[in-house]
A and B are shown apart, each in its own frame.
Chain A
Amino acid sequence: MTRTLTKLASATKVLSSQSPRLGPDAAAGIEAMFQAWRDYQQVHETESTKREEIRARSGVEITRLREQAQLIREHFAMIFSERRDNFDKSFTLLETGLSNGDDRQIEAALTLIVTLVKESPIKQAAETMRTIKERVPGQIIDL
């Protein structure tokens, strides 16, 4: 492309040298075309750079968002696993208490169940998300 346009520019010069009176206008036309090509080259480079930047920035942002989502999932997996164990223990305690007629066991089991239900894992996750969003680079978040 560059070679072709350089040849066109040379042809203009030849035209100008062969016929000095022809020169300025014809050369202006070709020069305008040459300028359009230069402008296009600049736009091409600028836009290519912009696209690279968009790709890079978006890639970083998407990775961050995916990691954030993954962190929430892992956080939930951990919380719900712990809660499942505690629920199972309290249900077992409740059954045992009821079959033995042990009111202390029953009350302990019920207190644990109600406490677990009242501890919202969603609220915990929302707080975790907020902590993650406000996290500064290098900061270690204790979950």
Chain B
Amino acid sequence: MPLPLIPIIAGATSLIAGALGVKKGLDAKGLYEQAKSIGGRAERRHREAVKEIEDRRTSVYEQLQALGRMKADAFSNTARYVVDQVRQARAVATLSDVDYASIPEEELVVFERESAQMSALDLVSDAGTSAALAALGAGGTYAAVGAAATASTGTAIASLSGAAATNATLAWLGGGSLATGGLGIAGGMWVLSGIVAGPALAITGFSLASRAEEAVTQAQFFAAEVDEKIAELQSLHALLDGTSNNINETEHALESLLVAFENARSQYEDRHRKADQSWSERSSQLNENQRAQDIEAFEFDLQRIIVVFKAIKEVVQTPLLDETHMPIVGLRERLSQVVDVCDSELFSARRGDHE
């Protein structure tokens, strides 16, 4: 009797298929979790990297602001002093015919204006397929049974109709009616549900697993993109560190020039004090030539102050980062591009996970 074995084989086949489906479904779940985990880790790395570069950028920006303030103060203080001293000296020189024309009046006016502007200086600008296939497996089997089998009552199922045909079919699938020792209609329902669920589960499982494989690839692609962007940020970190060093050395240079300015200023003021004292003590004895020699000595000292001041002015007016080659300006744009790319990739990966 080979026919009664068929439901058993069909049921067993369905069970195996169902088990396969469940296994592939679980595999798919695992793969989706893997994809989600890859995407999540990449997202965290991306977030941390962007925060790190933003923190560094902020810190360099603050350094630049501090340098800007230092430059403004340095220029304002030295320019004011130089303008005052040159004007005073010129007044004295008029009396003695000694020429103090190393800085013309027009230039002094410019210094005054620049000194006023300096305070405002801103040096930093910133599963239909699987359902269809499953339907084919279940519906096809059901119809085949109806066409091929003979009801346990001995009547060809195909000749039955309505509920009787359905019951006969189900009973056949169950190994015959209970009366003939089979599982009957209940057994048939159980087998049929297996036949429906088995291939459907298997196909769904394979389909899910395929999508999950694609999701893992998509997540890995996203993670690779993120890692590349993070690696790209290393160059920007290096540029920011370089900018920071450049700020430090400019500060150091400016400090040294200010020390030199103070040094020249003390020499000049000491000479003035001594001369004032000497002139008041020896006024009657000093002739015009001696006064002129003293004034010439003042001029040399003042010239030194002016030379140092001009160096300070050059340093103050030299932009650390200019708009044409300034990586920090590009950095802001590049950072936002990196964030945009990562965000859109992340959005796609998430959408892939949800589909």
Contact = CB atoms under 8 A, between A and B. Distances in A.
B231 interface: yes
Nearest to A132: B235
A117 B250 contact: yes
Interface in A33-68: 33, 36-37, 39-40, 43-44, 47-48, 50-51, 54-55, 57-58, 61-62, 65-66, 68
Interface string B122-162: 00000000100100111111011101110000000000000
Contact of B228 (A65, A80, A123): A65
A68 B235 contact: yes
B16 A8 contact: yes
Contacts of A91: 256
B83 interface: no
Contacts of A106: 260, 304, 307-308
Given A33-B203, A68-B235, A122-B320, A55 B220 contact: yes
B6 A76 contact: no
Contact of A125 (B20, B144, B195, B239): B239
Main SS of chain A's interface residues?
helix
A115 B345 CA distance: 47
Given A29-B141, A51-B217, A36 B133 contact: yes
B140 A28 contact: yes
Interface residues of A, number: 71
B221 A54 contact: yes
A25 interface: yes
**Range of interface residues on chain B?**
35 or more
Contacts of A87: 249, 252-253
B6 A32 contact: no
A114 interface: yes
B285 to A, nearest CB: 26
A114 B137 contact: no
Contact of B238 (A25, A76, A123): A76
Given A43-B214, A113-B315, A120 B246 contact: yes
Contacts of B225: 58
B215 to A, nearest CB: 9
Contact of B325 (A8, A19, A25, A123): A123
Residue in B16, B217, B263 whose Cβ sees the most chain A Cβ within 10 Å = B217
B339 interface: no
B314 A43 contact: no
B13 A12 contact: yes
B183 to A, nearest CB: 18
B199 A30 contact: yes
A65 B311 contact: no
A55 B307 CA distance: 61
Given A116-B253, A117-B253, A29 B308 contact: no
23 contacts: A25-B141, A29-B141, A29-B195, A29-B199, A30-B137, A32-B136, A32-B199, A39-B206, A40-B206, A40-B210, A54-B224, A62-B228, A66-B234, A69-B237, A72-B235, A72-B238, A73-B238, A73-B241, A117-B315, A118-B314, A122-B239, A123-B322, A126-B325
Given A18-B6, A122-B243, A126-B325, 11 more contacts: A15-B10, A18-B2, A22-B144, A25-B140, A68-B234, A69-B238, A73-B238, A117-B318, A121-B242, A122-B320, A125-B238
